[in-house]
Structure 1
Amino acid sequence: MTHTHQKKLRPLAVALCAAGACLAALLLVWLAVVRPNADKSLSERVCDEYSLYALIEPGGSAEQTFSTGNDLIVMGFVFGTRGGQPTGDLELVLSDAGTGEILARSTGDMAGILPGQYVALGLDHTVEGAEGRRYRVTLTPHYTGDGRLTIGHSDGAVLWNDSFTVNGEAVEGTLALLITYRQIGGFLSRFFLVIGALACLVVFFGVWAALSRKLALHKLVFVLVLAFGILYSFVLPPYAAPDEKYHINQSFTLACQWANRLSGDEWKMGHVPLDMTYRREHDADPLLQEERTTVFSWQELCGNLLTTTTDSFDSHVALEELQTDRNPAMYLVSAAAVFVG
């Protein structure tokens, strides 16, 4: 290979080495930080007090009614032991408190129970939540040894309109209960690796373009700033900044105003106060609009990219939400994106 060929291939080789180093760092971070958090979840604590423990007798069960609007994927309870480690199966039955319909089941081995901490029992399928729905969870141990199971509950604190019974007798308290309603699964790894791979490609292009001088320096800097800025916006989803929602509210209000002007309706949206915003009724997602940015925000966003609204093009609702400015000039581009969407 001639010196000229070596000189031509040098930028490519250096760029490959730089991208390879970034990829190696990416994989190390994934192994050390991302992969261990792949089972991260969002949970609701129905009751988090377990100062007392009730003994579940052979042939008996523990039963608690409760309500939640969230999905149910995993249910966690705090157990204790008496007379040694219990052995045998622990059966969980989740049913509708009103109709008695069985919604989900779970079976676990009591030999693996660790006393004094939450033990998770995964349901055989996800139960979709509904606002105001009441459930009944029944735990029945099937003992095969001398050890017995106790279950943690509060001391006298009873949830409104709910009941807790053990072995068929009412107990003055509430079962300690933790509900998992959202899990990341493999999304966290996929999200991290895709963003990391794109960053490695940007590094490869930047090093190659700089050494081969295929692109003027000012143009290269512009492209790199734009590319890394887009990647950064992937990591920082909408509503992540503390005042982000006020800017987004302004864009939605402006887009709604345009839609109503094109609708042919007699009603036209006029002046909008700073403490009001307009958008279609179902253009809302509490998890996505949470100011605390987590990977769940992107999971929710990615999962609804192709979700369409049932609202008509020119529909709107008035909401008591702050927006930023009465002057729409700064929001023409973002409002146009909302309008087209």
Structure 2
Amino acid sequence: MTSGPPANRRNRHVSMADVAQLAGVSSQTVSRVSNGYEGVLPQTRTAVLAAMDELGYRPNSAARALKLGSFRTIGVITFSLAPMGNFRTIEAISTSAAEAGYAVTLIPVGPPTHGGVEKAFTRLEELAVDAVIAIMEVHLLDRAKVTLPRGVPTVVVVDSDAGDAYTVVDTDQADGAQRATRHLLDLGHRTVWHLAGPEDSFAAERRTRAWRETLEAAGREVPGPLRGDWSGESGYTAGQELARRADCTAVFCANDQMALGLYRALREAGRDVPRDVSVVGFDDTADSASYSPPLTTVHQDFAEVGRRCVQRVLDHLRTGEHPPGTSLVPTRLVLRESTAPPRD
């Protein structure tokens, strides 16, 4: 490395040329290092990075984006981080994006309304993003007056019926619900009750439809579903009604939190899980293995959902094509101790 820069250099904006002089390399080499290009000798890269650190040099991301045609940033739009599925999907997207050299900008939507969606997408005009991943029900996109920045590809998560118009990545909701329902029927239960999620949720609706179709295909009675709002408290409220029904011996819950509330209602009514009532959840949350008894549940591979989202985005950016279509991530049934054959 050459001798340090003049003192007055530290009192003005540090340029790439300053870094090059201090490191004893060309400005082109500094550019290659700052942009993460391969083909720079390790010792040269180390010298350039040391010079950047000594001078406090920070690459101009806006100028670099104009030159390269990329901000190396993906925007993620969502209503809330509260739902476990949203949180884990965003976590997986962030991990996969980082592995590909991209940052993630989270764009929250205030109220889950068409106006809220419009405002979120309008913000994209002000943000430096190369692509967008929208974690929301697609009907809000269709009905809102959304205008995407020109050339920004969009991947939609959580609406597998929208593949004719959007690039969609989703868990195979139907497959998971079918697995849960068939498992309970195979154990010998005459029918399976369902504690469903909110009516305005695509995931909840798809799980309910698959549960119903599985019972009908087996020639079984289809009880009226009870609904909750994904919370344990709503599962407890609905569970109090199910606990009063002597003919209820098996319940498929649309998520694990509501299953936990159902556990409480059954226990308070003196009904044992799984001796009196078998219970299957959906999600395979980190805590579900610690329920008492450990919960049989449908596993969602959120890491794979996030990986496929980022891969679709990278494919769009590489090819310049944004074809519609749906990619469904398979589920699997995790067998634990909350299900058993019905009592004679």
- Structure showing greater radius of gyration is 1
Determine which structure has the larger strand proportion and give its number: 1
Q: Which has the higher helix share?
A: 2
Which of structures 1 and 2 has the larger relative contact order (alpha carbons within 8 angstroms, sep 6+)?
Answer: 1
TM class by shorter chain equals: under 0.3
